[in-house]
A and B are shown apart, each in its own frame.
Chain A
Amino acid sequence: MNEPTTSDTDILKAIEATEKSRNWISKHYDELRAKYQGKVFAVKDEAVIDSNASVTDLLEDVKKKGEDTALLVIESIPQKGVAYIL
């Protein structure tokens, strides 16, 4: 069976949408940190549509709402006082 292929136009649109959501997160990082510290959240069209303490539970919730998770940006903010050196 052949895999469906994604056109270059669709690929560029998907990159642009992700970039837009990620830039929105960066721009509003302080507000988001205050609200979602220690949580994972889903962003669509420059808005947080759901959050949870666990990424697995978050994905279940957004799927129940009929969202296509491939079109969402999933981001998390560590608990207060936690930093990572990668």
Chain B
Amino acid sequence: MRIPLSVRNFYSGRKVVFADFFIQIPSMRVARAHSAVVDSGSPFTSISTRDAIDFGLPIKHTQGEEITQLAGFKFYSHFLTATFVFRDAEQKPFRFTGQKVRVLIPTKLDKPTLREVQDIPSLIGTDFIEDNRLTFVYNPSTLTAYFERAEPEPLILTPTNQSGTTS
């Protein structure tokens, strides 16, 4: 199974790999298309503050949440469970259910900070790639990128003789 990804222009004039998918967060009544940068340097998949505001998620602090530092800013991580639906190479939907995702809420909630962090995109990190046993391929020479998951090997039962050894 292969999921094509898109290589697009980004902030600094460099190209970046994006994943376009549909995200469902039932606890927050979110069901919509979404895009995230595939960041093999990030251990965590996250919804950025800008996208959280766009989704209508509550931007407030809850005590005891873990602090994540990203791009020089500190964020509280609010954890949600989501389903990610991708379009595979055969144009069929492929679901990844029960995905833990961090919503990044800046530790400072003043207007200047919210404006500064709004340029930070949502990320698909290595947790998503590892947990779903995906291979991430990016060839900058051909501007192609994709996720791939090997189909499980078919289980082949071999007949055994009475001594328990295979024939």
Contacts and interface: CB of A to CB of B under 8 A. Distances in A.
Interface of A: 3, 6, 8, 11-12, 14-19, 22-23, 25-27, 29, 40, 53-56, 59, 69-70, 73-74, 76-78, 82-86
Contacts of A19: 6, 20
Given A19-B20, A23-B6, A55-B50, 13 more contacts: A8-B92, A14-B22, A15-B85, A18-B34, A18-B35, A25-B9, A59-B53, A59-B54, A70-B33, A83-B12, A86-B39, A86-B120, A86-B121
6 contacts: A17-B33, A18-B35, A22-B8, A59-B54, A70-B33, A77-B11
Contact of A12 (B51, B54, B87, B119): B87
Interface in B1-41: 6, 8-12, 18, 20-22, 24, 26, 29, 31-35, 37, 39, 41
A45 B31 CA distance: 20
B137 interface: no
A12 B91 contact: yes
Interface of B: 6, 8-12, 18, 20-22, 24, 26, 29, 31-35, 37, 39, 41-42, 50-51, 53-54, 70-72, 85-87, 91-93, 111, 114-115, 118-121, 123
A84 to B, nearest CB: 4
